[in-house]
């Protein structure tokens, strides 16, 4: 029997989508209240890090900020903020998994929170002592993207652990591109579409499918470390 309640999962998703779009404070306060949480920096260059306790812990990553590129209309219509409030909801549901959590701010403005974390030497070293990083911040239903922070071995491993998920390309950049220095990272689809516009939407079943697959992978499997080759081409964001 599945011990997880899908209705409760969807309720949590909707709670995170209800946070004001113009502020990350509520999400930061929620994660900052977790035991052991470390909140550092000032908005938008800030992050909350919650250390895990599993010996094979991964770092789970999402960003609290969101943006839409179509100006708010007089009727008050905006995007829904699924990019990346939906990812934050997954991290919240995995908060008791034993894995480490990293919630960043300023991803939409050039990965500001992730860049700040990478400059905090103790935090940077601790993050890169994990097995690998998993970010939940990709549009669509079944993509995974490693950008330039994956190896062939890690890509094959992700494809095995997330059946049906494929890597469409390696372009663009997100927080793991800044954070992963010694270990590999991957970004997973979480079911949103038309991000940054007033027609943004999220398919709850697709979001939940990623959550379910990630639970099986991260909770039921002994993880191994995937190191990033030192001579691998990196794409840094200032």
Please tell me the predicted confidence (pLDDT) of residue 237.
40
Nearby residues of 216 by Cβ (< 8 Å), 6 or more positions away: none
Location of structure tokens 């794409």: 235
Q: Where are the alpha helices (DSSP H) in the chain?
A: 6-17, 25-32, 82-93, 112-119, 121-127, 152-161, 175-179, 204-220
Q: Kindly report, residue by residue over 137-148, the tens digit of the pLDDT.
A: 999 999 999 999
pLDDT band at 68 (very low <50, low <70, confident <90, very high): confident
| Residue 73 CA, distance from chain mean position | 29
Q: Are 63 and 103 in contact (CB under 8 A)?
A: yes
Q: Is the pLDDT of residue 29 over 70?
A: yes
Residue with the larger pLDDT of the pair 128 and 172: 128
Please tell me the predicted confidence (pLDDT) of residue 236.
43
| The pTM of the whole model exceeds 0.85 | yes
Q: Kindly report, residue by residue over 152-164, the tens digit of the pLDDT.
A: 999 999 999 999 9
d(C-alpha 211, C-alpha 150), whole Å: 21
Please tell me the predicted confidence (pLDDT) of residue 198.
85
* Percentage of the residues of the chain whose pLDDT score is greater than 70: 92
DSSP, collapsed to helix, strand or coil, labels residue 97 as: coil
Average pLDDT of the residues in 27-50:
97
Please tell me the predicted confidence (pLDDT) of residue 5.
93
Please tell me the predicted confidence (pLDDT) of residue 69.
65
DSSP, collapsed to helix, strand or coil, labels residue 155 as: helix
Joined together, the tokens standing for residue 107 give 């991803």
Count other Cβ atoms within 10 Å, centred on residue 64.
31
Please tell me the predicted confidence (pLDDT) of residue 207.
98
């Amino acid at each position: 029997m599945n011990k997880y309640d899908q209705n409760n999962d969807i309720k949590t998703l909707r709670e995170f989508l209800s946070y004001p779009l113009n502020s990350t404070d509520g999400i930061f306060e929620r994660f900052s209240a977790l035991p052991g949480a470390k909140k550092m920096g000032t908005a938008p260059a800030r992050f909350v890090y919650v250390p895990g306790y599993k010996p094979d812990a991964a770092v789970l990553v999402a960003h609290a900020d969101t943006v839409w590129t179509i100006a708010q209309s007089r009727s008050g219509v905006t995007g829904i903020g699924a990019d990346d409030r939906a990812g934050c909801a997954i991290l919240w549901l995995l908060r008791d998994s034993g894995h480490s959590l990293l919630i960043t701010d300023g991803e939409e403005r050039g990965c500001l929170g992730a860049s700040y974390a990478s400059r905090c030497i103790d935090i940077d070293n601790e993050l890169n002592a994990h097995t690998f990083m998993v970010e939940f911040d990709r549009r669509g239903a079944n993509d995974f993207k490693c950008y330039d922070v994956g190896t062939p071995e890690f890509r094959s491993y992700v494809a095995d652990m997330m059946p049906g998920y494929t890597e469409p390309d390696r372009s663009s950049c997100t927080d793991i591109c800044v954070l992963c220095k010694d270990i590999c990272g991957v970004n997973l689809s979480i079911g949103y579409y038309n991000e940054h516009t007033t027609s943004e939407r999220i398919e709850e079943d697709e979001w939940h499918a990623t959550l379910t697959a990630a639970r099986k992978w991260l909770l039921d499997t002994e993880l191994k470390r995937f190191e990033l080759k030192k001579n691998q081409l990196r794409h840094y964001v200032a």
